Amino acid sequence: MSRLKQTQAWLALTQHYEQIKHLHMRDLFEEDQQRFARFSLHHNDILYDYSKNCITDETVDLLLKLAHQAELPSWIERLFSGDKINHTENRAVLHTALRDRSDTPIVLDGVDIAPEIKAERAKVTSLAEKIRRREWRGVSGQPITDVVNIGIGGSNLGPLMVNEALRPYSLHDLNVHFVSNIDENHINETLEYLDPKTTFFIIASKSFTTQDTMLNAETARQWYLSLIGSDEQIGRHFSAVTSNTKLAMEFGIAGENIFKMWDWVGGRYSLWSAIGLSTMIAIGAEQFDELLEGAYELDMHFRKSPLEQNIPVMMALLGIWYNNFFEVQATAVLPYDQYLHRFAAYMQQVDMESNGKYIDRSGDEVDYTTGPVLFGEIGISGQHAFFQLLHQGTKLVPADILAPLFSYRCIARHHRALMSNVFAQTEALMRGKTEPEARQELQDKGLSDDAIEKLLPYKVFPGNRPTSTFLFDTLTPRTLGSLIAMYEHKVFVQGVIWNINSFDQWGVELGKQLATTISDELNDDEQVGTHDCSTNGLINYYKQRRSFKRKQK
């Protein structure tokens, strides 16, 4: 049995689960009017209410003990101080250094990396501001109207989510597009209405070898060359963000337009780096700074607060409580803010790529479950789709609800309606609807006794479905920075307790490797026989159909 499962805290939690699994939150709330006050935390304008979870004071105590037994405080220090905690890649994990505002040296391998981070930021800022101020001119002397970020995974999801979230802060006469899919329709649809003379590309790829990105970058270059007629001034239209300067230069990007990524920043944690160039172009350096500031403030909260007052720690512990003791498989992230419509997709990567691991830090297979399936959608849309399962399904899905208290624009009736859904849903998920309540409702509608008996079972809601609610004033860059950092650290804490490395991604690497091999096999019409019969069958069917179509033309 793993060490984790033998810790006192784990054993105590296992026992405690048996004692409280039949408690209903409705009763816990009725018994304790202070529950909200006790089980909620604040950070700046963010209120985190975790009172609608299946917990008691004892649960929290035991979960905190579990965190201490995992030596969480010392792991937090190891993270911030640049210890090489990504042991399978022998790398430090220092995305927090990218938003550090403290002016204290951040030493890695004996070198203070803070000056280099600052210098790179200055370079990015200079380019972004020139484009924003229309000083950066393209091949025909016209300013840039469209920026296209070509990248995938960590080089796409973060900046895309942030750009969408901060639309109200963006320039309106400068469009930022994101191309990630290797499916040609993505780049074709994007380029169709653009003018190469006023388009600026960012090739965002840490490795500069990812097939999807490199193919799209090549197609973008061909598009430019075919419409401009030569490679004249191509340097005015292409930039790269990468740790592979050599390959970027070979691609033809001018040295001054290549921005650095460091190996101590994982792709999914990279939006704070030059990968955020598209964001900086959209919202400007000042607002980008606010984003960093928000994340830094949260970093300080995470680093300095006692565990019981620490929001990411409490988020992580609740996740572990459900994951490992209730044996819950999934969790939902549900923003009630249209601008956060890519938030769940981004968090899906941060969480699932980080903690979707079955081997622990000692190289052994774990005997407990790790990262959950994370999914999500704009809350209101989810209500009209999958909330049915949240309310009455056979699976327990704890959910995070995020909502702004104030809207950017002032159509009060919209915002009031939005917020009433937030409150109503969390209450309904917690309380449910009892049989007497459901019966009363049907009687009030004037249904016959017979009809009521038939319908009643379907109208009962068990409740006791956990939600955690995050309320914040308005989605400013600063608040967004804090929210993202909150989730990053939650994932880290869970990784520490599960004793896994949250910062490698061998599963992603495998995909890259496999696709490259098969891609070579698709170059001709020869039948293949090197795979299992299903894969051979699929490949050969594709080849046959392709050759048939070709002959038809």
Catalytic residue list? 353, 384, 512
Stretch that binds ligand G6Q, among 105-113, 153-161, 225-233, 393-401 (CB under 6 A): 153-161
Among 9, 106, 152, 430, binds ligand G6Q (CB under 6 A): 152
Angle among Cα 62, 64, 70 to the nearest 5 degrees reads 105
Check residue 508 for interaction with ligand G6Q (CB under 6 A).
Answer: yes
Measure the CA–CA gap between 406 and 463, rounded to whole angstroms. Answer: 29
208: left (phi over 0), alpha (psi -120 to 50) or beta: left
**Total binding residues toward ligand G6Q, as defined by CB under 6 A:** 15
Closer residue to ligand G6Q, CB minimum distance, 187 or 334? 187
Shortest Å distance, C-beta 149 to ligand G6Q: 12
Judged by beta carbon, residue 246 or residue 304, the one nearer ligand G6Q is 246
Q: Which residues pair with 108 in a beta bridge?
A: 111
353 binds ligand G6Q, rule: CB under 6 A = yes
Rg (CA), the chain: 26
Which of residues 51, 383, 464, 505 is near ligand G6Q by CB under 6 A?
A: 505
The answer to whether the beta carbons of residues 278 and 131 sit under 8 Å apart is: no
- Between 261 and 422, whose beta carbon lies closer to ligand G6Q? 261
* Beta carbon of residue 107, minimum distance to ligand G6Q (angstroms, whole number): 24
Tokens 């220092």 belong to residue: 94
Question: Residue 265 or 442: which CB sits closer to ligand G6Q?
Answer: 265
DSSP letter for each residue of 246-279? HHHHHHT--GGGEEE--TTS-GGG-TTTGGGHHH
Task: Identify the CA nearest to 224 among candidates 213, 215, 214, 233.
Answer: 233
Is residue 206 a contact point for ligand G6Q (CB under 6 A)?
A: yes
| Selected range binding ligand G6Q among 43-51, 120-128, 202-210, 432-440, rule: CB under 6 A | 202-210
539 neighbors 525 (Cβ within 8 angstroms): no
Answer for the pair 309, 368: CB distance below 8 angstroms, yes or no.
no
Tokens at 180, concatenated:
């990630």
User: Is 300 near ligand G6Q (CB under 6 A)?
Assistant: no
Minimum distance, C-beta of residue 370 to ligand G6Q, in the bound complex (Å): 17
Farthest-apart Cα atoms in the chain, separation: 82
CB contact at 8 A, 491 and 53: no
Q: Which of residues 256-285 bind ligand G6Q (CB under 6 A)?
A: 266-268
> Which amino acid is located at 473 in the chain?
D
332 DSSP 8-state letter: E
User: Is the CB of 267 or the CB of 371 nearer to ligand G6Q?
Assistant: 267
Distance CA 406, CA 168 (A): 14
Which amino acid is it at 399? Answer: A
- SS3 call for 43: strand
- Closer CB to ligand G6Q, 324 or 355, in the complex: 355
Phi, psi of 177 (to 5 degrees): -115, 155
Contacting ligand G6Q (CB under 6 A), which of 82, 138, 153, 404?
A: 153
Which range, of 182-190, 203-211, 283-291, 336-344, touches ligand G6Q by CB under 6 A? 203-211
Based on the shown chain and the rule CB under 6 A, indicate whether residue 207 belongs to the binding site for ligand G6Q.
yes
213 makes contact with ligand G6Q (CB under 6 A)? yes
| Contact between 239 and ligand G6Q per CB under 6 A | no
Q: Which of 354, 464 has the CB closer to ligand G6Q?
A: 354
Two structure tokens written together for 98: 């990218």
Task: In angstroms, give the least distance from the CB of 260 to ligand G6Q.
Answer: 13
Residue 334 to residue 395: CA distance in whole angstroms: 17
- Residue 371 interacting with ligand G6Q (CB under 6 A): no
**Nearer Cβ to ligand G6Q (265/291):** 265
Binding piece for ligand G6Q, criterion CB under 6 A, among 151-159, 382-390, 434-442, 539-547: 151-159
Query: Look-up: residue for tokens 């959209």?
Result: 282
Q: Taken in order 63, 490, 1, 71, is the CA torsion positive or negative? A: negative
Binds ligand G6Q by CB under 6 A, chosen from 96, 205, 425, 469? 205
Binding residues vs ligand G6Q (CB under 6 A): 152-155, 205-207, 210, 213, 266-268, 353, 505, 508
